[in-house]
Amino acid sequence: MFGAIIEDAGSFAQPAGAAKVVDEFLQEKYSRQVLFEGLGLQGQQHLLDSSAVIVGCGAIGAATASLLVRAGVGRIRIVDRDFVEPSNLQRQTLFDENDARDALPKAVAAERKLKSINSTVSVEGLVADLNPQNVADLLHGFDVILDGADNFETRFLVNDFAIQSTCPWIYAAAVAAYGLTMTVLPGDTACLACLLNTPDLAGIEETCDTIGVLGPVVNLIAGLQATEALKLLSGNPQALHRRLISCNVWTGHFQSVQVQRNPQCRACVQNEFAYLHGQAQPHITMCGRDSVQIHEHHRALDLAALQQRLTRTIPEVRHNDFLLRFRIAPYEMTVFADGRAILKGTTDPAIARSLYARYIGA
């Protein structure tokens, strides 16, 4: 992975197998971080030859993606299930008003923006909801997995996959003015299941949709997360802080603690990967305040055909290449090509199922 050799101290050597030509423009582009003694030319070479996958492209995922793409991480994949809304723009720094107006999927909007920021690295946005069936396909083969998720179900799934495949991952979360992050090195440091041995915590967890979140804290946490990723990917694992860092930007309270591994840990000691096996994705999941996500289908939908059908009975059906949206007052339904739908205006699974069956098909 980090096999490239620096042949000439004045320029970047070409990583083995890489297609792109490293020219003077590229040297200039990364010159300021190459000057940083922790990184240097060799660290930059490693970054160009490295890869990262980001699970969830909300505020933390977007900020981390921007930092890593700018830093020259050679290959970045972003996996996100959601679309851009006006309420995202206060903190999700990759998106703008046009993205929200067009209701672009975040993975698509992020890929476009990131390619315009750095065209010399590979960026791939995938519109998908991470689940036990697709986790291996989506996350396999990357040097690090970065947490940009908004729920613990997904984080425990990532944790189980990372421990099983011995891939480092970096937990990161923020709500209100508070945030925290921890780097998980499988078999070495504590994992998420060591830290939180009961996933039921998720049930009492406050979210950005209930108590809000400040833009500065997500960018601070993303900055810490991205720095850990840069240490790993530049060949400097000895520089990892190996601590759980938390901070409150409103009170100015910062904390850094060492988390011991749990000698009985379900995941990293007993290798019981409950989230990879058995626990199928529930058909209905909460998805922010006053909305639910429906996974009745595990097959692709023909959005053009669906739109034609719906316009016979529903006055305004909006669509783009990736999703379709319509109102059935007081609800609003957004349907994705992979068969998922997000219903706004209720948290009642029965209403969600019934409207899905009526308008999309059972």
Active-site positions read 208
**At closest approach, how far in Å is the CB of 195 from Zn ion?**
8
Residues 6+ apart with CB under 8 A from 26: 12, 72, 120
Q: Which helix (H) or strand (E) holds 204?
A: helix 201-204
User: Could you tell me which of 323, 319, 281, 284 has the C-alpha nearest to residue 301?
Assistant: 323
Name the residue nearer to Zn ion (CB basis): 267 or 284.
267
- CA 320, 102, 139, 288 dihedral sign is negative
The two tokens of residue 316 are 């305004």
**At closest approach, how far in Å is the CB of 186 from Zn ion?**
9
Angle, alpha carbons 113-169-274 (nearest 5°): 120
Name the residue nearer to Zn ion (CB basis): 191 or 360.
191
Name the residue nearer to Zn ion (CB basis): 90 or 166.
166
Name the residue nearer to Zn ion (CB basis): 191 or 317.
191
Name the residue nearer to Zn ion (CB basis): 73 or 190.
190
**At closest approach, how far in Å is the CB of 168 from Zn ion?**
14
Residues 6+ apart with CB under 8 A from 251: 177
**At closest approach, how far in Å is the CB of 275 from Zn ion?**
13
**At closest approach, how far in Å is the CB of 267 from Zn ion?**
5
Residues 192, 159 contacting (CB under 8 angstroms)? yes
Q: From the CB of residue 241, how many other CB atoms can be counted at a distance below 10 Å? A: 15
Measured CA to CA, the distance from residue 249 to residue 139 in angstroms comes to 32
Binding site for Zn ion (CB under 5 A): 191, 193-194, 265, 267-268
